[in-house]
Amino acid sequence: MKSVRFGVVGSGYFGGELARTLNRLEGSSVVAVHGGSRAALLAEELQCEAVESLEDLMRREDIVAIIVASPSHAHKEPVMLAAKHGKHVFCEKPIALTLSDCEAMVQACRSAGVVFMAGHIMHFMRGVNQVKAWIASGEIGRPLVCHSERTGWEDKQANVSWKKNNATSGGHLFHHIHELDFLQAIMGPAVSVCMAGGNLAHQGEGFGDEEDVLLLTLAFADGTLGTMQYGSGFRWGEHFVKINGTEGAILLDLKQSKVELNQNGRIVSRNLNETDEEDMERAQSYQKVDGGITYGTAASQMPSWLATLIGKEMSAFRDAVLGLPIDASVHKLFDGTAATTSIATAEAAMVSLREKRWVSI
């Protein structure tokens, strides 16, 4: 296998693990990292260079592809520079905090003829692909209505992360955009949205300014519907997706770490993750924290189920850079669909929240 040399922008929880994963994968290596307070430590760990300037990173002729894992508000500049210098790009979710920025990033990569991959990691879950297969084979008939919850409670923080402020993370809807992306992958792009919410219990010192309660209703082109709940203002936290169809229903349970197919009371259960051990690890973690709203730090221990997903994700990006065929199950991560659809709906939802009305997408 040919070797792909990577540069990494961002050295935090995800940036660090993405870099470590690439260094372990056959046919890939990290040669330079940039950005974040831990860049020098990460470079020392990986035995690569720490580069001070973003421009210098992009100019390097020994780098073929760039991993962008900087804070969400700082995604556009490295993606645009990478495209300008002919580098392939993987960008963590959310791709951007506005649709105009997202579209500009996708178009820049398309015009430069480089691979652009959106980091919607949920598509690499075994259980998610099982759900897609059940729906594709008609196990629940025609999907009619879906419902998702990603909720929990957050206490006061000694140090408020950039992830807790709308200007830098976009708030819960953008930072935890996985379910919004997944529902639209199943139901098709939403055509209109109505959202209510606010910051009801997390104001003042020790908190950011993001809304802690968000309640969405989505309308799809064929008349089907979806509802969603997000936020850290829920003492009874949940994390699941339910899809109800004309012939049955599916539960994607991220808290209990399983997927279930219900056909007239007959339940078929499958793993969410790759192994029973990974499912148990994930389910046990929710007994300690509200896993749907928590976030990692550079010092956090990466769970094995997430490390497995990152390995799949980086393997898919490496293979695309090498020109190998892209699997149909993740094609929307490479053609701009997942990136723009999720951001378009999230942006319209925030307009709806401010203006208290249904908003067309």
For residue 150, the surrounding DSSP H or E stretch is strand 143-151
- Domain range for residue 156? 123-296+342-360
Q: b vs e for 281-301, b when ≥16 Cβ sit within 10 Å of the residue's Cβ?
A: bbbeebeeebbbbeebebeee
87, 139: one domain: no
Residue 16 maps to a domain: yes
| 8 Å CB contact between 190 and 345 | yes
Supply the DSSP symbol for 45: H
Spell out the residues 6+ positions from residue 237 whose beta carbon is closer than 8 angstroms to its own: 151, 152, 153, 255, 290, 292, 293
Which pLDDT value is given to residue 118? 98
142, 108: one domain: no
Q: Is 12 exposed, middle or buried (0-12, 13-18, 19+ CB in 10 A)?
A: buried
User: What whole-number distance in Å separates Cα of residue 115 and Cα of residue 331?
Assistant: 12
DSSP code per residue over 233-289? B-SS--EEEEEEESS-EEEEETTTTEEEEEETTEEEEEESSSSHHHHHHHHHHTTTS
131, 44: one domain: no
Residues of the chain with pLDDT under 50: none
Residue 82 CA to its chain's centroid (Å)? 21
Q: What's the whole-model pTM score? A: 0.96
227, 355: one domain: yes
User: Dmax over Cα atoms in the chain, in whole Å?
Assistant: 60
147, 82: one domain: no
Q: b vs e for 226-248, b when ≥16 Cβ sit within 10 Å of the residue's Cβ?
A: bebbbbbbbeebbbbbbbbbeeb
Q: What is the CATH number of the domain that holds 157?
A: 3.30.360.10
Cβ atoms within 10 Å of 142's Cβ, excluding its own:
11
86, 139: one domain: no
Which pLDDT value is given to residue 175? 96
Which pLDDT value is given to residue 165? 96
204, 346: one domain: yes
Q: What is the CATH number of the domain that holds 78?
A: 3.40.50.720
Which pLDDT value is given to residue 298? 63
Task: Please write the tens of the pLDDT for every residue from 63-75.
Answer: 999 999 999 999 9
Partnered with residue 140 across adjacent β-strands are none
Last residue of a domain, one of 114, 137, 162: 114
Number of folded domains that form the chain: 2
